[in-house]
Structure 1
Amino acid sequence: MLQGAIIVVAVLYFARDLLIPLVLAVLLSFVLAPLVRALRHIAVPRPAAVVIVVICTFAVLSGIGALMGSQASSLAGNLPSYQATIAAKLEGLRSVGGLFDRLNGVVADFSRRETAAPETVQPPPGDGPPAETPLGRAVPERRPVPVELHSPNPTPFEMLQRLAEPLLGPLATAGIVVILVIFILLYREDLRDRLIRLAGARDLHRTMAAMDDAAYRLSRFFLAQTGMNTAFGLFIAAALWAIGIPNPLLWGFIAGLMRFVPFIGIFVTVTGPLLLALAVDPGWATLVWVAVLFAVSEFLMGQVFEPLVFGHSTGLSPIAVIAAATVWTWLWGPIGLLLAVPLTVCLVVLGRHVDRLEFLEVMLGDQPALDPEETFYQRALAGDADALTEQAERCLKEQPLAEYLDAVALPALRLAQEDAVHGALAPDRRAALKRSIEMLAEDLEEADDPEPPPGEAPAPLPPEWREAGAVLCLPGRGPFDAEAAAMLGQVLTRRGFGVRLGSEAAPGARPRLLCLCLLDGGASAATARYLLRRARRRLPGVPAIALVCSREPEGALARALRSEGTPEAPLPIASCMVEVLDLAVEAAGTLPRPAAEPAAEAAPPAPEPPGLAATATA
């Protein structure tokens, strides 16, 4: 992998003159493909649609380039006239006895001291007596002869060559890009078929779905980003014209172009208008207005408009954006900086659909690297109870406590139990995990569930079910079965049940319902059956529910416990806390019933399957 990465980087660096036009053509084809499809929908042939779109696009780009060149020339011609305003502002910043005056005084005093220092003056070479030869004759003094080099006037051909050389490279690149864009748009389906053949013709349906999804997403993203940046540039140009900044079209173009550059683009954009605001206005009002304009517009673009158009993000993590901008700038220079985000988005989409390149999505994408239950487990192992609470608060804004525990906490406890059974969990880590879960349980005591829809509020429980110890949560013998039982007890307590945790022989009122809590990987099937039988012997006539958190719906524990039931009184097996809560409410006789109907038209009730009621009767 390291050798492959080095080869890829070397090819990207040394073949940039070939790859840059190709990449520009591919990205432009993504942007122009929807326009070609729109023309084809109105019965325009494909060759004509491609030619029309490409010619119009490059005509617009050429016009924009010419306009920006004239704006830059006008700005360069007006620069000397701004010197007087800048000098006047700098004079105004100086104050008597201020920092500038003190610095000038120190420099002047140092210069006077250097001038007053004694210097050794040596006579010039021509003032001494003439040198004598061994024969005693004087040699006349030789003075250097000044020499000036003059190049011949260039011929018309040389002048034309000097003017054309800086333009040949960009013109050649532009010509190659135009030709490639035309051919890519003309033979789009053929290129897609060839890529499908290379990517995987055996699984044709999956490969086509992946490529169509990637092309559609990238095309929408690039077109939307181009439209958003164009609108932003036009808005900035209009606002700067209203404020009174010279050459507003130039700064609007730079603002729209720098939107493609993440993070540092805004600083490049705002520098020129701020300097001009400092130069054209003797006061400071223009400078303040320009600063406010860019601050407000950047906030609105980043927090309001772009999330509405793109979703919450572009699919890249902030660190990935910074790293991509650095790497592509090092490889391809300024063009790489402009193309950093689009190229990185392409890599993320490629990693999303190609199994071998999945690491690209993990490294560069903005999706969490770990699943919620894995994140819970990692934070608990690290003893970071605050992070667990933050995760729980985010989840509880959208779902009740029971659903959060089923989706995140119980799977995390199952992972911890598997590691503990295999000896992969050190004692200090295990203690930190238990301590973090206890602190999370204390924090969840104050958390509120989302408000239920109107008319669906849960019915109150009978008084006898709200007494302490009405429901007994009995843990298994696994390392973390007790934590699962405590979580279940918290869910039942929030619903209004009186809950007791621990052994069936604990002192107190006789329970009305027994909940056996087991995590997969802890107690064996024989141990689970033994715990259930012992609880039934000590609490005869009390209905039981088994909570079995397993990777498989019907694992070994669930099958073993189900065999303990009888056809007349089967043992309900729940795989999540929501099911346990529903069964407990059913046992308490407070299930929600449909709206009452007239007694004469009421249909006879259907016979209920044997469940908790039959268990209680037995």
Structure 2
Amino acid sequence: MSTGEGFVVPPRPTRVPAAEAPKGPLASSMIVFAIIVAGLFLGREVLIPIAIAVLLSFVLGPLVNFLRRLRLGRAVAVLVSVLLAAGIIAALATVIGVQVAELAQDVPRYQRTIERKVEGLREGTLGRTMDYIANINRAIHQGGEENKEAAEKARREQAARDSTRKTEPEPPKPMLVQVEERRPSPLELATTVLSPVAQPLATAGIVIVVLLFILMQREDLRDRLIRLAGSSDLHRTTVAMDDAARRLSRYFLGQLALNSAFGVVIGVGLWIIGVPSPVLWGIFALVMRFVPYIGAFLSAVLPIALAAAVDPGWSMVVATFLLFAIVEPIVGQIIEPLVYGHSTGLSPFSVLVSALFWTWLWGPVGLLLSTPLTVCLVVLGRHVDRLEFLDVLFSNRPALTPIENFYQRMLADDPEEAQEHAELILQECSLSAYYDDVVLKGLELAARDAARGVLTPDQKDEIRASITALVEDLEDREDAVPDPDSKPGRLISAGAGEGESACKSDPIPRSDPDDLPAAWRADGAVILVSGRGFLDGAATAIADQLLRKRGFGTRQVPFAEVARVRIAEWNPGPAQAVCVISLALSGEPTHLRRLVARLRQKVDRVPVVAGLWRLDEPMLADDALRAKLGADDHVTSLRDLIETILALARQNGAPDVSGPRDAAAPPRQALPEPA
């Protein structure tokens, strides 16, 4: 059974509010889990019908709503829907019984066909090859003269025993006794016939009764679930429950319709090929496709074996194999994603584990119900805070956001994984948006950890080296939004809505480098000065790369070159703008204020822009604190930085550094000069 995305499980919907529960020790959690598993196992005779009824309620829910829109009463609509479903299931069961009985009558004929095929294989090339291999094996293991003597001795002993038996008198012949069985009474006959179907009929009866009550009391059951989940916000809770029920209903109905179509196509194809009982195998394919991954392939085994037993040749076997080999990939890889997305919202590992778990608990029925039951659990985990661990364990949504993934790869000193992660995100957003929304925010996490003192010097060096390697690998990539037709859809955008990108920033408008004034294209026109944070150099390298892609001549200046003891020796060159870039701020940015003041001594008439990316920094929201910094403009993203530099280049051209400072037009959002 193929699996795919987006239809079943909504990405990060509004959660049902729940009261905070204290986390108990691991032992108590394991005890609770063991009690639940024991209850599921011991109560399987009752819980299996209830689970089937719950799943059927999601399938029949839309039909009940449709009948109610036709102004039928709830009781009538529910009764008609359940009777219709029961009638369809009973008809299918009857067809299965009739077809199985017909197959049973032809088993001797099929057995003779198989025996002839096997005998033909033995007499053919395959048989001669096997005999040749057996002779070689016997020759290798044949003993020497000792084995021959032992064989001769055994032959003589056997001849002596045979002669002794001949001299002994023959034992009397046994008498033939015929035992006639007593003819069973009508009650015994009825018991023998009905006992195999008694349990399935009882289960079906329980399913129908429970299904009737679920459909009749649907609103009451929803209210009780709301009460259990937490009713502090009835609006959010009701919306979450209704959304979960609607999505599950759409998924199960879509899966049932798709699997039914698959069964019909298989049945018709087998009928055209000439395989006996095509209706039976179509129904079998329908049911087996609910089994994850291997169900469709298992449904092909018996029809192929039957084709081998019916046809004296091999053409029917090949045709049956091709039928399944062609139809299943088309349905699983093309039609199924169009019907309900690319997956069930479950990770492949969770599908496998759930199949093993439910099969161990409930047998073959558990195998059929494993994926639907796990989908229900994941939907609850996405809507109910207390069950969020189910979503983390079983869903195919990344457990970490793209920002956390990036930082984790930096901590792990795994630049190759970081590169693959970047390539995946860059399929749905531009390079500058990736830097803004993923890389810089990941560097901010690293800066926070460094400020808390949890990063060792070796880890800092590894993070710097990994980021440098990543920026170098992305040097040749164009900063443009990917073609929408080539985007594979939502990839790893954990936390984004369905179909949304992992990057939230708007793409930076593309510009022609030839439109820039010549002075801004010269080397060193835009000076990028790093702060003293251990990652400010990496952020500066990223800004340098994006500016160069737009035709600016840039120059990176580490903090050490403009320190107080070396500022007198520093030469700004043909600077048209100066950008001070810092990730880590703490309290009043004294060192940055002094850095800007030192730069003013060298480039007094050149605009100074401060790039600060700690969005929670109080200074960024306080005009007075920002004014103390002394910069002409402040930006909090790479997009703002590039737009600011572009605006300066287009408005000011090449500023006359020898003239008065107000000769140049004021930069965007210019702040007053510090006191």
Of stretches 397-406 and 224-233 in structure 1, the one that deviates more from structure 2 is 397-406
Equivalent position of 1:429 in the other structure: 459
Confirm or deny: 8 A CA contact 2:267 2:281 kept in the other structure: yes
* Separation (CA, whole Å) in 1 of partners of 2:634 and 2:584: 14
Offset of residue 89 of structure 1: 3.3
Offset of residue 616 of structure 1: 12
For the pair 1:121 / 2:161, whether they are aligned, the reply is: yes
Of stretches 278-287 and 433-442 in structure 1, the one that deviates more from structure 2 is 278-287
Partner SS, residue 121 of structure 1: helix
Equivalent position of 1:573 in the other structure: 634
Equivalent position of 1:138 in the other structure: none
Equivalent position of 2:276 in the other structure: 246
Of stretches 264-273 and 311-320 in structure 1, the one that deviates more from structure 2 is 264-273
Offset of residue 164 of structure 1: 2.0
Cα deviation, 1:547-577, whole Å, max 9, x if unaligned, reads 11114275569767612367xxx73221110
Inter-CA distance 46–465: structure 2 relative to 1 (3 Å threshold): same
Equivalent position of 1:137 in the other structure: none
Alignment match of 1:548 (pick from 586, 609, 612): 612
Map 1:81-96 → 2, pairs under 5 A: 81-93=109-121, 94-95=124-125
Task: Indicate the percent of aligned positions where both proteins have the same amino acid.
Answer: 42
* Separation (CA, whole Å) in 1 of partners of 2:137 and 2:209: 62
Confirm or deny: 8 A CA contact 2:63 2:81 kept in the other structure: yes
Alignment match of 1:458 (pick from 489, 505, 511): 511
Equivalent position of 2:492 in the other structure: none
For the pair 1:392 / 2:422, whether they are aligned, the reply is: yes
Equivalent position of 2:496 in the other structure: none
Inter-CA distance 609–296: structure 2 relative to 1 (3 Å threshold): farther
Alignment match of 2:556 (pick from 480, 496, 501): 501
Cα deviation, 1:428-482, whole Å, max 9, x if unaligned, reads 33222222211111110121233699xx742432221111111111111111111
Offset of residue 163 of structure 1: 2.0
For the pair 1:99 / 2:121, whether they are aligned, the reply is: no
Q: Match of 1:412, as an amino acid?
A: G
- Structure 1: segments with no counterpart, 5+ residues: 129-140, 592-607
Of stretches 492-501 and 187-196 in structure 1, the one that deviates more from structure 2 is 187-196
Offset of residue 353 of structure 1: 1.1
For the pair 1:587 / 2:648, whether they are aligned, the reply is: yes
* Separation (CA, whole Å) in 2 of partners of 1:80 and 1:590: 94
Equivalent position of 2:215 in the other structure: 185
Offset of residue 121 of structure 1: 2.7
Equivalent position of 1:288 in the other structure: 318
Equivalent position of 1:67 in the other structure: 95
* Separation (CA, whole Å) in 2 of partners of 1:244 and 1:142: 57
Inter-CA distance 107–461: structure 2 relative to 1 (3 Å threshold): closer
Q: Match of 1:118, as an amino acid?
A: E
- Tell me the matched-pair count: 586
Equivalent position of 1:533 in the other structure: 597
* Separation (CA, whole Å) in 1 of partners of 2:475 and 2:574: 26
Cα deviation, 1:116-152, whole Å, max 9, x if unaligned, reads 4733739679959xxxxxxxxxxxx999999988764
Inter-CA distance 558–541: structure 2 relative to 1 (3 Å threshold): farther
Map 1:461-472 → 2, pairs under 5 A: 461-472=516-527
Cα deviation, 1:386-417, whole Å, max 9, x if unaligned, reads 22122222222222211100111011111112
For the pair 1:279 / 2:309, whether they are aligned, the reply is: yes
Of stretches 478-487 and 420-429 in structure 1, the one that deviates more from structure 2 is 420-429
Equivalent position of 1:258 in the other structure: 288
Inter-CA distance 357–66: structure 2 relative to 1 (3 Å threshold): same
Confirm or deny: 8 A CA contact 2:529 2:556 kept in the other structure: yes
CA RMSD of aligned residues (A): 3.3
Offset of residue 614 of structure 1: 6.3
Offset of residue 264 of structure 1: 1.9
Alignment match of 2:667 (pick from 597, 611, 618): 611
Offset of residue 497 of structure 1: 1.0
Offset of residue 44 of structure 1: 1.5
Confirm or deny: 8 A CA contact 1:553 1:575 kept in the other structure: no
* Separation (CA, whole Å) in 2 of partners of 1:182 and 1:361: 30
Map 1:2-151 → 2, pairs under 5 A: 2-93=30-121, 94-95=124-125, 98-102=128-132, 116=155, 118-119=157-158, 121=161, 127=168
Alignment match of 1:478 (pick from 530, 533, 536): 533
Equivalent position of 2:505 in the other structure: none
Partner SS, residue 516 of structure 2: coil
Partner SS, residue 546 of structure 1: strand
Q: Match of 2:546, as an amino acid?
A: V
Confirm or deny: 8 A CA contact 2:627 2:671 kept in the other structure: no
* Separation (CA, whole Å) in 2 of partners of 1:48 and 1:91: 62
Offset of residue 56 of structure 1: 1.0
Partner SS, residue 547 of structure 1: strand
* Separation (CA, whole Å) in 2 of partners of 1:554 and 1:373: 23
Equivalent position of 2:504 in the other structure: none
For the pair 1:166 / 2:166, whether they are aligned, the reply is: no
For the pair 1:510 / 2:566, whether they are aligned, the reply is: no
Partner SS, residue 368 of structure 1: coil
* Separation (CA, whole Å) in 2 of partners of 1:163 and 1:609: 98
* Separation (CA, whole Å) in 2 of partners of 1:182 and 1:614: 70
Confirm or deny: 8 A CA contact 2:619 2:625 kept in the other structure: no
Offset of residue 485 of structure 1: 0.9
Offset of residue 160 of structure 1: 1.6
Equivalent position of 1:599 in the other structure: none
Q: Match of 1:422, as an amino acid?
A: R
Greater relative contact order (Cα 8 A, min sep 6): structure 1 or 2? 2
- Structure 2: segments with no counterpart, 5+ residues: 1-28, 143-147, 484-508, 653-663
Confirm or deny: 8 A CA contact 2:403 2:441 kept in the other structure: yes
Confirm or deny: 8 A CA contact 2:526 2:578 kept in the other structure: yes
Confirm or deny: 8 A CA contact 1:33 1:219 kept in the other structure: yes
* Separation (CA, whole Å) in 1 of partners of 2:134 and 2:670: 100
Offset of residue 97 of structure 1: 7.4
Inter-CA distance 494–58: structure 2 relative to 1 (3 Å threshold): same
Confirm or deny: 8 A CA contact 1:548 1:558 kept in the other structure: no
Cα deviation, 1:159-182, whole Å, max 9, x if unaligned, reads 222222222211111011111111
Offset of residue 267 of structure 1: 2.6
Scaled by the length of structure 1, the TM-score of the pair is 0.87
Inter-CA distance 383–250: structure 2 relative to 1 (3 Å threshold): same
Inter-CA distance 522–471: structure 2 relative to 1 (3 Å threshold): farther
Partner SS, residue 514 of structure 1: strand
* Separation (CA, whole Å) in 1 of partners of 2:105 and 2:651: 85
Confirm or deny: 8 A CA contact 2:429 2:481 kept in the other structure: no
* Separation (CA, whole Å) in 2 of partners of 1:185 and 1:613: 62
Confirm or deny: 8 A CA contact 1:525 1:560 kept in the other structure: no
* Separation (CA, whole Å) in 1 of partners of 2:313 and 2:327: 23
Equivalent position of 1:234 in the other structure: 264
Inter-CA distance 512–90: structure 2 relative to 1 (3 Å threshold): same
Offset of residue 381 of structure 1: 1.9
Inter-CA distance 47–557: structure 2 relative to 1 (3 Å threshold): closer
Cα deviation, 1:272-298, whole Å, max 9, x if unaligned, reads 122123233333333222222222222
Inter-CA distance 289–558: structure 2 relative to 1 (3 Å threshold): farther
Confirm or deny: 8 A CA contact 2:589 2:629 kept in the other structure: no
Offset of residue 88 of structure 1: 3.8
Confirm or deny: 8 A CA contact 1:258 1:268 kept in the other structure: yes
Alignment match of 2:434 (pick from 399, 404, 410): 404
Q: Match of 2:157, as an amino acid?
A: P
Confirm or deny: 8 A CA contact 1:421 1:521 kept in the other structure: no
Inter-CA distance 239–553: structure 2 relative to 1 (3 Å threshold): farther
Offset of residue 329 of structure 1: 0.2
Q: Match of 1:472, as an amino acid?
A: I
